Amino acid sequence: MSATPPPTASTAPPANPRKRSGGLLAKAVLWLLVLAMLGFAGWRGWAWWQTRHAQERAAVADADLRIEALDQRIDMIRRDQRAQVQRLQQADATNRVLRDELLGIGQRAALIEDSVARLADPERSGALALRLDETELLLVLGEQRLRLAGDLDGARRAYAMAGGVLERIDDPDYLSLRQSLLQERAALDELGADPRVHALVRIDRFAGTLEPPPTRAQRAPTATAPWWRRAFANVFDIQPRHRALAVRPADRADAQAGLQLELTLARAAAERRDLDSYRAALERAGHWLERLWPASPALDDKRRQLDAIAALPLSLSIPTLGSTLGQLRQLRAAEGRDQA
């Protein structure tokens, strides 16, 4: 028996259509499963990324909050540090004040001990009374020299000597008296020249500007004058109705002498510091001016000068003059009452 040959491709039986469709379906399901798994993996990755991003943002916000809290705490620490520095400075200043006060208390205690030791000295009361008497005498001399004689330099020397005597008195009860004397001496030093001397200088200057009385030749009518004036010049004397003007040389000489006399009386009144007599003499001098000068701007100018001279003061004005002397007498009177 002979073997049968194998079947060829052309002679192969056709495939089963059910098997082919089943394979395609299995592949489609496989691909769907793969796509589903890929989609699920992508969704899970995206969700994880979102979660991670949110965590990072939360961590950044938390870090910002912590940094802000740290900044606030640092600011509080700095404020506390500044407050501590201020407290230390205040404590240092207080310590300095207390140290100065302790030093002052120690000095006061030493002064009190010295004062008590001097109070125990029996010779102290006599020396103190002698120095107070000397101070009172010098103050009286200075005040009288200034009020009566107008001797400003002498008054300053007397007050300076009184200040030297008070410097040797270490009793604390007389400290205010020493301060009052310093103020009075300062007022004396601030004074300028004596007003009486200024008034005398102004009177002398005014007297130097007065013209001498005209001579007869100066008062005689000139050749160009009218004939009636030349003819009757020595017969009639024409005067203003409101005042008598000296025209003749003799009358003018008398008026000039009267003016100089009143100026001399004004000088004497200024020397005595007699303000009423001084102004009365200058007022009479003004009447003599009206007899020497006719109504003119020159007369008005001289009247103004004379009024300005009459308005000058003659006495020194010191409001504090005599205050130290009065205070010294009050202290001594109070001590006398206490001892009594």
Please report the pLDDT score of residue 339 as a whole number. 58
Range of the structural domain that residue 272 is part of: 194-211+243-315
Predicted confidence band of residue 9 (pLDDT cuts 50, 70, 90): very low
CB contact burial 185-213 (16+ within 10 A = b; e otherwise): beebeeeeebbbebbbebbeebeeebeeb
Q: What is the CATH number of the domain that holds 133?
A: 1.20.120
- Residues 47 and 54: their CA atoms lie apart, in Å, by 11
How many whole angstroms separate alpha carbon 68 and alpha carbon 60? 12
Assess if residue 57 is contained within a domain. no
Looking at the structure, tell me whether residues 177 and 284 fall in a common domain: no
Same domain as 328, residue 187 = yes
Q: Is the pTM of this model over 0.85?
A: no
Ranges 48-57, 96-105, 243-252: which has the least confidence: 243-252
Asked if 121 contacts 130 with a C-beta cutoff of 8 angstroms, the reply is: no
In a domain, 141, yes or no: yes
Asked if residue 32 belongs to a domain, the reply is no
Q: 120, 142, 158: which is the final residue of a domain?
A: 120
- State mean pLDDT over 324-339: 73
Do 182 and 285 have their domain in common? no
Amino acid letter at 122? P
| Domain end point (choices 120, 143, 162) | 120
Residues 202 and 263 in one domain: yes
Q: How confident is the model at residue 235 (pLDDT cuts 50, 70, 90)?
A: low
Instruction: Give dist(CA 203, CA 309) in Å, integer.
Output: 7
Instruction: Say if 13 falls within a structural domain.
Output: no
Neighbouring residues of 331: CB distance < 8 A, sequence distance ≥ 6: 173, 174, 177
* CA distance readout (Å), 80 to 83, 225, 234: 5, 110, 113
- Identify whether residues 91 and 146 lie together within a single domain: no
Kindly give, in sequence order, each residue whose CB lies less than 8 Å from that of residue 128, ignoring residues fewer than 6 positions away: 169, 171
pLDDT of residue 1: 41
Same domain as 331, residue 184: yes
Q: Tell me: do 206 and 257 sit in the same domain.
A: yes
pLDDT per residue over 155-172, tens digit each? 888 888 888 888 877 777
Q: Are residue 203 and residue 311 in the same domain, yes or no?
A: yes
Domain assignment present for residue 292? The answer is yes
Backbone dihedral angles phi then psi of residue 213, each to the nearest 5 degrees: -65, 140
Interval 96-141: pLDDT, tens = 888 888 888 888 888 787 766 665 555 556 677 788 788 888 888 8
328 and 271 part of one domain: no
> Do 110 and 162 fall into the same domain?
no
What letter does residue 143 receive in the DSSP assignment? H
Residues 135/166, Cβ–Cβ less than 8 Å:
yes
Return phi, psi of residue 4, to 5°.
-90, 135
Query: Is 262 inside a domain boundary?
Result: yes
| Residue 250 pLDDT class (50, 70, 90 cuts) | confident
Tokens of 217: 């030749």
Give the domain-ending residue among 104, 120, 136: 120
pLDDT confidence of residue 124? 53
Q: Please check whether residue 339 is in contact with residue 312, taking contact to mean a CB–CB distance below 8 angstroms.
A: no
**What is the domain count for the chain?**
3
Backbone phi, psi, residue 223, to 5°: -70, -25
My answer on whether 90 and 178 are in the same domain is: no
CA dihedral 334, 335, 337, 340 (to 10 degrees): 180
Are both 92 and 185 inside the same structural domain? no
Average pLDDT, the chain: 77
Q: What CA–CA distance (Å, rounded) separates 317 from 291?
A: 37
Residue 80 resides in a domain: yes
Residue 55's H or E segment, with its range, is helix 17-119
Is 133 domain-assigned? Answer: yes
